[in-house]
Amino acid sequence: MYVKLHPDFSESPAAKEAADIVQSCVHCGFCNATCPTYQDRFDERDGPRGRIYLIKNMLESGQASDVARTHLDRCLTCRACETTCPSGVQYGRLADIGREMVDEIGERSFSQRIVRRLIRWVFPYSSRIRVLLGLGRFFSPVLPQALRRDIPPRQNLDQRPDVPTLADRKMVALQGCVQSAATPRTNHAAQRVLQRLGIDLIEAKAAGCCGAVSYHLGAADEGLDFMRRNIDAWWPLVEEGAEAIITTASGCGVIVKDYGELLKSDPDYAVKALRISELAKDLSEVLDKEDLSAFTDVADKSRTAVHCPCTLTHGQKLGGSLQRVLGKVGIPMTKTTEDHLCCGSAGTYSLLQPDMSQRLLKRKLKALSIDDPEQIVTANIGCQLHLGTQSEVPVKHWIELLDPAKSS
């Protein structure tokens, strides 16, 4: 479909990029079949094709309507539509540009701006999350049941990872923000598992949030600053020969793999960002290529349902990598349905769109539970915590099943 850019956007590279993406859509509507929000509401404007039209109108009129904002806000950015689209429309990138544009040319309500600012003030900082979690756990006995469920229990970390072995092979772990505060066991387990394979997993203390929280909340410049900070922290380790930048949260992984694209116009960071993106690997991607026979005896053999996050399946195009790794070490996996469906976590979505998020959560848990699993595993902190609020069985990061030093 042809886009006639409004004169206000004639000098905007982002608007031109958005117009090119819109023009690649042939409006066949196949994407609606796998879009969770369209499947929930059956409103064309809550599907990818409808949202593409809303962005097209914005590019042509130079105006952002409340209707466009509402329906773009309801999008999970799960990118299931990209996997389904026969024309290769880069919907995720378009949604990011569209959201930033909505906030630039039209003003959000005061309350929405405050909530978004608060989220950006808390979530990218593990120290602030730790304080919040500490308060939540302390006051938990007097909180209503619905709120209590949202506070993840403190993890037992008695068995610390061994000190680095000074192995020949080294990889760098992104410690991230929410995960390092809420489920620190994940990276400890990854460190122990890789150590058994002769790989030291090291962290750069100055690195932190991957930038996704700010970037997806329409604060692109703030997100890009987090990315530059991480690149500066990792670069000396890359120069010392680190083989990979490992992400154990697929939501972070998808954006680290995009650093090269997002910083391509920054003359100081473009080359380094591209190198970081080339080195970025999800943990399952790394283990998929290793000999895992040493783990068949130690692996947790409980009946396990696997939730492969959207950011792994659709964002990183690594659908099946989790199941392959778990299959190699003999973990019995239960049947599941609706594997393409988002669990409703989607970064900050569960906070900003709680009704839709809860409906998707219930539907996802039903799909994961049809074969009576004893536990559920996933590869993203957001999914893990979100599923954990309502699941009747424990929800873990999958690497815990291979951990030679399992904590309770």
Q: Which residue's CB is nearer to ligand SF4, number 78 or number 231? A: 78
Residue 99 interacts with ligand SF4 (CB under 6 A): yes or no? no
Write down the least CB distance from residue 314 to ligand SF4, Å: 8
3-state secondary structure of 254: helix
The one-letter amino acid code at 396 reads K
- Strand ranges (DSSP E) for 102-239? 169-173, 199-203
Query: Angle at CA 17, nearest 5°, toward 43 and 91?
Result: 35
Q: Which of residues 28-67 bind ligand SF4 (CB under 6 A)?
A: 28-31, 35-37, 48-49, 51
Residue 27 interacts with ligand SF4 (CB under 6 A): yes or no? yes
Write down the least CB distance from residue 76 to ligand SF4, Å: 4
Site string for ligand SF4, 62-81 (x = CB under 6 A): -------------xxxxxxx
The partner residues of 396 in beta bridges, in order of sequence, read 377
Q: Which residue's CB is nearer to ligand SF4, number 78 or number 283? A: 78
Number of residues that bind ligand SF4 (CB under 6 A): 25
Contact 125, 209 (CB under 8 A): yes
CA–CA gap between residue 261 and residue 256 (Å, rounded): 10
Write down the least CB distance from residue 75 to ligand SF4, Å: 3
Q: Which residue's CB is nearer to ligand SF4, number 32 or number 389? A: 32
Among 87, 109, 165, 407, binds ligand SF4 (CB under 6 A): 87
CA–CA gap between residue 5 and residue 237 (Å, rounded): 44
Write down the least CB distance from residue 286 to ligand SF4, Å: 27
Residue 286 interacts with ligand SF4 (CB under 6 A): yes or no? no
Neighbour-count burial of 36, counting CB atoms closer than 10 A to its CB (0-12 exposed, 13-18 middle, 19+ buried): buried
CB environment 51-73: b (16+ within 10 A), e (fewer): bbbbbbebbbeeebeeebbebbe
Residue 25 interacts with ligand SF4 (CB under 6 A): yes or no? yes
Question: Where along the sequence are the contacts to ligand SF4 (CB under 6 A)?
Answer: 25-31, 35-37, 48-49, 51, 75-81, 84-85, 87, 89, 91
